Amino acid sequence: MNEQVHALTGAGRLWLYAIAALLMAALLFGGWGLWQVLAASGDAPSPAQVRAQQQQIDELEQRAATLARSDQISRDANRDLQGALAERDEEIAGLRADVAFYERFVGATAQRRGLAVHELKLQAQTEQAWHFTATLTQNLNRGAVNAGRLLVSVEGTRGGKLQKLGWSDLRQQDNAPGVMYSFKYFQQVEGDLVLPPDFQPVRVIAQLVPQSGPAVEQSFSWAAAAAKEGAGDASGLK
């Protein structure tokens, strides 16, 4: 469809250029003809002849300006259309990814999996502050509600030494409560982290503490989680 639109707009521009060229040629030819007539007669043009020629010049210039404006409008419309098509393609790709995600966990042939962190994304707010989004999933106990708390910790280096920051450290609050979750198949939960100055993060660890059953801990590379696409499957599972 994009190629058809491009071809149509390209043809339109060629048509406009051709008409503009014809008008300019007519203008030049008219001026040349008047010069030939006056040169042959040896007489100066009359005021009426000058006015008529000037009127013809003005009309041709107006037509050329109108064609140029039409061509610009066509270019703008084509650019807007291309942008709209690109946005629509992006929306379709996102919807297809969502459908594949849903089928993976709730489809009839979906592989049964227990409680897990399917994806973890990190987005910088300031030099030390980060916002995280975690996608939690499970389809092992279909129809059952999974509830509990999400805790996040970060491993890295500071002053050349290894250091691990717990949830309370990252929240800058003693005994900070975790992020609550409650879902049947999947849920996205969000929160904020604050790193100390000069701390170089290497790995982020997500710990799910359900109301019943053992805790689930998964680790992700900080670089992957902070990338635009975010981290997908966990790099480690304990």
What's the confidence (pLDDT) of residue 20? Answer: 62
- What is the percentage of the chain residues whose pLDDT exceeds 90? 35
Rg of the chain over CA atoms, in angstroms? 35
pLDDT tens track for 139-170: 777 778 889 999 999 999 998 899 999 999 99
Please determine, for residue 216, whether its predicted confidence score (pLDDT) is greater than 60. yes
Place of tokens 């002849």: 49
Cut 0.85: pTM above it = no
Q: Where are the alpha helices (DSSP H) in 130-231?
A: 167-171, 222-225
Among residues 172, 174, 222, the alpha carbon closest in space to that of 193 is found at 172
Per mean pLDDT, which of 31-35, 74-78, 110-114, 118-122 is the most reliable? Answer: 118-122
27 C-beta neighbours (distance < 10 Å), count: 17
pLDDT band at residue 4 under the 50/70/90 scheme: very low
Instruction: Assign residue 42 a region (left: φ > 0; alpha: ψ between -120 and 50; beta: otherwise).
Output: left
pLDDT band at residue 171 under the 50/70/90 scheme: very high
124-133, 214-223, 228-237: the lowest-pLDDT one: 228-237
Secondary structure (DSSP) of 34-85: HHHHHHHH-PPPPHHHHHHHHHHHHHHHHHHHHHHHHHHHHHHHHHHHHHHH
More confident of the two residues 76 and 123 = 123
